[in-house]
Amino acid sequence: MTGTTPATDALDLAEAGAVLAAEAARFAALGWMRGTSGNLSLVLSRDPLRLAVTASGRDKGELTPPDVVLTDGEGAAVGPGRPSAEAALHARVARLTGAGAVVHVHTVASVVMGRRSPEGIRFEGLEMLKGLGHPTHEVAVTLPVIANSQDMTELGDRLEAALTPGMPAVVVAGHGIYVWGADPREARHRTEVVEWLLELAAAEG
């Protein structure tokens, strides 16, 4: 998906909507996008940066392909619709990391561990770390935790400062997790892995 003209963007937006609707349904079924919480994005083009972002206030278990909004590289709508209030953060993650897709879900384990370990959550010697791209379980990585803010510029600054090699995710304290990947499938797999790690840490106390 690399369209840069309005006509191509419109076609890509429809395709992206179908992909994001399917991804949202999976996350909602897991209980990670309750009510209208959470948001997803998919990069449509890099130059200029354009993203498909789930629309604000939609039930993520009932999304349809039209329930996405085209945004620019700052997260502002390009055309009709109102994207998630956190679209600017999705765009910033895409700019900073080169990600092709970003997942934001609200999980109980992420809130528990964000409160328990505000300095960051360390994982070591776990086979599931291979799911984040590590060639062996014999590694130690830290999942960053950042303070929440309703100001997406401020939150983006905190995320940028906290980016950690080998960890394509961050916990926003009291809020949820952001996870990213090259495409929606990789972003989903990484989200599942990060949530598994968080649930393990929460269970271990």
Tens-place pLDDT, residues 164-177:
999 999 999 999 99
Flag whether 195 is in a domain. Answer: yes
Domain residue limits at 29: 6-204
Q: What is the pTM of this model?
A: 0.92
Let me know if residue 1 belongs to a domain.
no
- Here the CATH number for the domain that contains residue 19 is 3.40.225.10
**pLDDT reported for residue 5:** 38
The pLDDT > 90 percentage for the chain reads: 87
> Mean pLDDT in the chain?
92
pLDDT, residue 80, reads 87
Q: Are 45 and 3 in contact (CB under 8 A)?
A: yes
Compute the average pLDDT of residues 148-167: 96
Predicted pLDDT at 193 = 97
C-alpha to C-alpha distance for 58 and 124, rounded to whole angstroms: 37
Strand (E) or helix (H) holding 87: helix 87-97
What's the pLDDT at 4? Answer: 34
Per-residue pLDDT at 138 = 86
Q: Single out the residue of 106, 127, 105, 109 nearest to residue 203, CA to CA.
A: 109
Task: Tally the domains of the chain.
Answer: 1
pLDDT tens for 43-96 read: 999 999 999 999 999 999 999 999 999 999 999 999 889 998 999 999 999 999
Confidence of residue 9 (pLDDT cuts 50, 70, 90): low
Vertex 99, ends 78 and 44: CA angle to 5°? 35
Contact 6, 78 (CB under 8 A): no
In a domain, 166, yes or no: yes
Q: Is residue 8 pLDDT above 70, yes or no?
A: no
Range 119-140 average pLDDT: 93
pLDDT bucket at 205, cuts 50 / 70 / 90: confident
User: Per-residue pLDDT for 12 more than 50?
Assistant: yes
C-alpha separations of 129 from 121, 167, 189, 190 in Å:
13, 9, 12, 10
| Host H or E run for residue 171 | strand 169-172
